[in-house]
Amino acid sequence: MFLAKKAIPRRTLLKSAQAALALPLLDAMIPAATAWAQTPAKPVKRLGYVFVPMGCDHSRWTPPGQGKLGELSPSLEPVRPVLDQVTVITNMRLPNAYPGTHDTSNAAFLSAASSKHTESSDYLLGITADQIAANQMGRETQLPSLQLAMDLHPLAGVCNNGYACVYQNCLSWSGPTTPLPSEAHPRVVFERLFGEGGNASARRAALRNRASLLDSFTNEIARMKRRVGAPDRVRLDQYLDSVRQVEREIERAEQAVNDNRTPDMDRPIGVPAAFADHAKLMFDLQILAFQADITRVITFQLTREQSNRTYPEIGVLDPHHPTSHHGNDPVKVAKIAKINNYHVKLFSEFLQRMKATPDGDGSLLDHSVYLYGSGMGNPSLHDHENLPILVAGGAKTGLKGGRHIRYENGTNLSNLHLTLLDRVGIHLDSFVDSTGKVEDLFERVDVG
């Protein structure tokens, strides 16, 4: 451990003319007065949400039994490597999402609120759980929250059943009339995390004129390494390697644009052609944002409602949305199950990378809580019952992983939102239509 009279401030940035590099949590950032105790730097709590559209095939999603997850369902098999960090919750519902549309499914997922039926700009919803968290957890970070997606999102006009597109395309709302757009382009997200000074076009030009963002910080990085001990130097090198790798993947995707003669109209130009590569990049950006403490709250719309994306890489050549209207056709239902499994696989791989990323006295996953799920249950019925829901988190969160919580009757998703907010230190008496907290999800320990 690094011992010094004065610790390095947690908010230390390495700066150049057009960029700023936040640092990961280092042991050298603990107060000097406590350094003698050999105490690792104290990590912070983080909260994330991953939304998937159009429900699931319950027959292949729901694990058998309850309590300990002794047997995984086919759709959830990919979480096996992180089984101890995942809990499945069955029979959660969104009563305020009715009358039952794609728009209300998306809008209610984090708000648990009813959407005003309007085609115009007089839309009305409610503050979402992530923004309640951001209002408190974001006070000490560069970005209060980060909103990410995979698809282009029209925010004007009507998308479905007389509902304004904003309901379907914005997961996060900072207030009843204030939707927060999400970003699907990795380059834009990267620049938002690490750009500093000048307007967006100036930052972009400066970043592209260099072989790498890190080239700006060669001298600053060398000086920082001289100030810290050996463990911190290793941690810093690992972080810088991750930054460089993400930047290279973005550059490769941009260089491949001319070779992509069949672009996906839902996907921004300059992102990886393969869905899995794009998703991995967006997940890796979340890891960097958490690792450098740029934000502590993230939402990610893995795909959007009514998406017509196909998945030839897993043998699903038919568009997702029409296939979701399966009418109990076993062939279509099996395809929905394949898509469910594929999305869970991408999430599981992200959790595994979180688990492998050091953070204080554990890993990023140890100090994070993620909610993964959909605002729709049976997509063929457009209902909002028995939602596919996973909660993931590490040992330091107190999550009782490797378990299946099954409610006999429908329980409001707002109860889970209330529980997760409480776990990261935001204590509310209620949230929208909540009737209590999800019992037995976490250990009964004080987490602040």
Residues 383 and 241 in one domain: no
Give the pLDDT band of residue 36 (cuts 50, 70, 90). Answer: very low
Write out pLDDT tens, residues 319-328: 999 999 999 9
Burial class of residue 123 in the structure, from the number of CB atoms within 10 Å of its CB (0-12 exposed, 13-18 middle, 19+ buried): buried
Q: Is pLDDT above 70 for 90? A: yes
Average pLDDT over residues 167-171: 91
Residues 209 and 172 in one domain: no
Please tell me which residue, 16 or 47, carries the higher pLDDT value.
47
Identify the domain boundary among 222, 251, 280.
Answer: 251
Asked if residue 277 belongs to a domain, the reply is yes
Residues 192 and 131 in one domain: no
Range name among 46-60, 223-237, 262-276, 294-308 with the lowest pLDDT average:
262-276
Is 443:398 a contact under the CB 8 Å cutoff? Answer: yes
Is 8:229 a contact under the CB 8 Å cutoff? Answer: no
Give the pLDDT band of residue 214 (cuts 50, 70, 90). Answer: confident
CA-CA distance, 422 to 414, in Å (whole number)?
Answer: 12
CA angle, residues 292, 294, 295, in degrees to nearest 5? 120
pLDDT at site 202: 56
Q: Tokens representing 33?
A: 């007065």
pLDDT at site 445: 55
- What is the per-residue burial (b if ≥16 Cβ within 10 Å, else e) of 379-394? bbebbbbbbbbbbbbb
State how many domains the chain has. 2
Write out pLDDT tens, residues 146-156: 999 998 766 65
pLDDT at site 264: 47
Q: Is pLDDT above 70 for 34? A: no
Q: Which has the closest alpha carbon to 1: 221, 233, 223, 222?
A: 233
pLDDT at site 197: 47
Range name among 6-15, 172-181, 398-407 with the lowest pLDDT average:
6-15
Q: Is pLDDT above 50 for 261? A: no
One DSSP character per residue, 344-394 reads HHHHHHHHHHHHTSEETTEETGGGEEEEEE-S-S-TTTT--SS--EEEEE-
Please tell me which residue, 26 or 379, carries the higher pLDDT value.
379
Range name among 26-40, 171-185, 223-237, 410-424 with the lowest pLDDT average:
26-40
Is 117:163 a contact under the CB 8 Å cutoff? Answer: yes
Residues 62 and 145 in one domain: yes
What domain range includes position 226? Answer: 1-42+188-251
pLDDT at site 37: 41
User: What is the percent of the chain where pLDDT is above 70?
Assistant: 85
Q: Is pLDDT above 60 for 203? A: no
Asked if residue 441 belongs to a domain, the reply is no
Average pLDDT over residues 234-243: 84
> At 71, which CATH number?
3.40.720.10
pLDDT at site 146: 96
> DSSP 3-state assignment of 15?
strand
Range name among 194-203, 296-305, 372-381, 422-431 with the lowest pLDDT average:
194-203
Residues 38 and 50 in one domain: no
Asked if residue 403 belongs to a domain, the reply is yes
Asked if residue 89 belongs to a domain, the reply is yes
- Give the chain's mean pLDDT: 86
DSSP annotation of 305? T
Average pLDDT over residues 106-128: 94
Residues 107 and 225 in one domain: no
Write out pLDDT tens, residues 370-417: 999 999 999 999 999 999 999 999 888 999 999 999 999 899 999 999
pLDDT at site 158: 67
pLDDT at site 4: 43
Residues 50 and 173 in one domain: yes
Average pLDDT over residues 169-178: 94
Burial class of residue 429 in the structure, from the number of CB atoms within 10 Å of its CB (0-12 exposed, 13-18 middle, 19+ buried): exposed
